[in-house]
Amino acid sequence: MDWSDDGIVVSTRLFGDSGRIVKLLTRGHGLHAGLVRGRRASQQLQPGTHVAATWRARLADHLGAYVLEATTHVAGGVMDRPLRLSALASACSVVESSLPERAPYPTVFDGLAALLALLDGEAWDAAYVQWEVGLLGALGFGLDLSRCAVTGAAGRPNDRLAYVSPRSGRAVLLSASEPYRDRLLPLPGFLVGEGEAGGRDVLDGLALTGHFLDRLVFAQADRACPPARQRYVEAYRRAVASSGSLPAS
């Protein structure tokens, strides 16, 4: 049994004296683990690294061994930007915790690759939230942010889609939200094409996607939210509190 594919490292763990179990998100074979032998080779494989991967095993259900050639080291580009590095770790851990193993999700692979490419850009934090929205959609739990769940109307300049139902994942107009506003989740405008994302808008977005990831994805797999995502959200919240708006890193 063998195949070759493009992959992104999502996690590694030590195996013996000089090997690592490396888990990749691959484009055609999904979330897939394998053994990488050799201390030097395994040390170069940080989460977020793009690789050309070849996997071989005697039987399809075996762990198998990887031969990996790193093509892009994403972590190196954000090593001196701790908040962006934390977002990278969060994205990789969310992928590992949310996807079934060995099931192809090419749109999730493409989305993660696009997010990693944007981590050194200006709107990296908003891109992270949009990536989690896309992940929910790819897993079959897409949010409906196009029309109001109550009235069926689309947003207007003087009456925008401002909230999301925590049960249905459908948007609610500001004018229709009054009777149960305290039970709704804030919908940041940048997710519906209204304005740029400030730090507090991103925090609202993280709370929105986190709610549905917890309820529909992690809970279904009997898992908690990955600690790396919790650390990222808390670090982002502290950065916004200290800066008053957008975090510096």
> Is pLDDT of 39 > 80?
no
Total number of domains constituting the chain: 2
CA distance 200 to 38: 45
Both 172 and 235 in a single domain? yes
Q: Beginning with the edge strand found earlier in the chain, give each strand of the sheet holding 161-164 in spatial order.
A: 144-148, 170-173, 161-164, 185-186
Cα angle, residue 210 at apex, residues 219 and 155 outer, rounded to 5°: 125
Confirm whether 163 is domain-assigned: yes
Q: Is 73 exposed, middle or buried (0-12, 13-18, 19+ CB in 10 A)?
A: middle
Both 55 and 94 in a single domain? no
Cβ contact 12:42 at 8 Å: yes
Q: Is 122 exposed, middle or buried (0-12, 13-18, 19+ CB in 10 A)?
A: exposed
Both 125 and 207 in a single domain? yes
What is the share, in percent, of the chain residues with pLDDT greater than 90?
Answer: 78
Both 56 and 129 in a single domain? no
Higher pLDDT, 196 or 225: 225
- Looking at residue 91, its pLDDT comes to 98
Q: Which stretch of DSSP H or E encloses residue 6?
A: strand 2-15
CA-closest candidate to residue 197, choices 120, 113, 129: 129
> Is pLDDT of 198 > 60?
yes
CA-closest candidate to residue 141, choices 162, 168, 163, 164: 168
> Is pLDDT of 42 > 60?
no
- Looking at residue 40, its pLDDT comes to 63
Beta pairing class for 30-37 and 50-56: unpaired
Both 126 and 172 in a single domain? yes
Both 104 and 68 in a single domain? no
What CATH number is given to the structural domain containing 7?
Answer: 2.40.50.140
Mean pLDDT of 155-165: 90
Confirm whether 134 is domain-assigned: yes
Both 102 and 55 in a single domain? no
> Is pLDDT of 178 > 90?
no
Both 47 and 125 in a single domain? no
Beta-carbon neighbour count of residue 196 at 10 Å?
11
Question: What tokens appear for 139 in the block?
Answer: 């897993």
Confirm whether 249 is domain-assigned: no
CA distance 222 to 69: 34
The string of pLDDT tens digits covering residues 217-227 is: 999 888 899 99
> Is pLDDT of 75 > 90?
no
Domain that holds residue 20: 2-72
Query: 74 — phi, psi (to 5°)?
Result: -70, -40
> Is pLDDT of 121 > 70?
yes
The string of pLDDT tens digits covering residues 16-30 is: 887 899 999 999 999
Q: What is the CA 202 to chain-centroid distance, rounded?
A: 14
Higher pLDDT, 131 or 249: 131
Res. 141 pLDDT band, cuts 50 70 90: very high
Confirm whether 248 is domain-assigned: no
What CATH number is given to the structural domain containing 88?
Answer: 1.20.1440.120
- Looking at residue 41, its pLDDT comes to 64
Cα angle, residue 112 at apex, residues 246 and 67 outer, rounded to 5°: 135
Cβ contact 34:5 at 8 Å: no
- Looking at residue 125, its pLDDT comes to 97
Question: What tokens appear for 15 in the block?
Answer: 């195996």
Both 58 and 127 in a single domain? no
**Which range has the worst mean pLDDT, 129-138, 205-214, 240-249?**
240-249
Q: Which residue has the tokens 């993660």?
A: 112
pTM metric for this prediction: 0.94
